Structure 1
Amino acid sequence: MELSQAQARVDGWVREHGGYWDRFHILARLSEELGEVAGALQREQGLRPRQSSADLGEEVGDLLFTLIAFANANGLALDACLGKVLEKIEIRDGEAWKAKER
C-alpha cells in the first residue's frame, strides 16, 4: 500500500468515527503508542514479563495508524515527508546510520 493510500484510508475511518482529535491530543497518543512499542520489544527480548498478547508488529501498526492520523490532521503528505528525509539522509547523513559494532 502506498503512503497516500494509507492516509486516505485512515482519513476515511477517522471521519466515519467522529473526526480528528485536537492535534496535541493526537501527539500525546503518538507518544503513548511509542511507549507500547517499547514495552512489546522489551517483552519480546525477555526484559519484561509477558502480560499482554499484543506483539511488536501490532504495536508498530498502532503507532503507524496514529502517525498517519497526526500527519493528516496537520495537512502533511507522508510521501513528501519521507522523500525529503530520505534525500537528506542519503546526501548528508550516510555515516550516521552505519551499523555500530556491538
Structure 2
Amino acid sequence: MYNKDSMAEMQKRVDDFISQYEEGYFSPLSMLARFTEEIGELAREVNHVYGEKPKKTTEEDNTIEAELGDLLFVLISFANSQNISLNEAFDQAMSKIETRDKNRWTKKE
C-alpha cells in the first residue's frame, strides 16, 4: 500500500530539477511564504467547489488536484532544502498519530 521509494523518487526528481539552476533552493523563510501562498490558493479552490463563493467568470479554471500538486512540490522543495527525508518524517508522524489517536474515534466493525 505505501511505497517508500515513491516519496524518495519524488524528492530526487525535485532536487534534480532545482539543482540545474544556479539559484538553487529558496531560503527557509521564502519557502514558508510560498507554502502559505499555496495553502491560500488551495483554500480558494476548495471554497469555489464546496463553499458559498462561486468562481468569477473571468477566473481561470483550476482544480483542487492542481493546488495539492503545487503544495506537494513546495513541501518537497522545503524538505530537500533542509535535508529532511519525507519518508522518515511521515513514518514519525504516523507512529505518533497511530499511538495517540488509536482509540480516539469509533472503529469500523
The answer to whether the superposition gives a TM-score over 0.5 is yes
TM-superposed deviation, 1:5: 0.5
TM-superposed deviation, 1:47: 2.3
The match for 2:74 is 66
The match for 1:76 is 84
TM-superposed deviation, 1:52: 3.0
1:26 pairs, out of 26, 31, 41, with 31
Deviations 1:20-41 (A, max 9, x none): 1111101110011011111110
The match for 1:15 is 19
Q: Structure 1: which 4+ aligned runs deviate by more than 3 Å?
A: none
Distance 1:72 1:88 in 2: 23
TM-score by length of 1: 0.87
Distance 2:35 2:98 in 1: 27
* Gapped regions of structure 1 (runs ≥ 5): none
Distance 2:78 2:84 in 1: 9
TM-score by length of 2: 0.82
Structure ranking higher in helix proportion: 1
Which protein is bigger by CA-based radius of gyration?
Answer: 2
Indicate the percent of aligned positions where both proteins have the same amino acid. Answer: 34
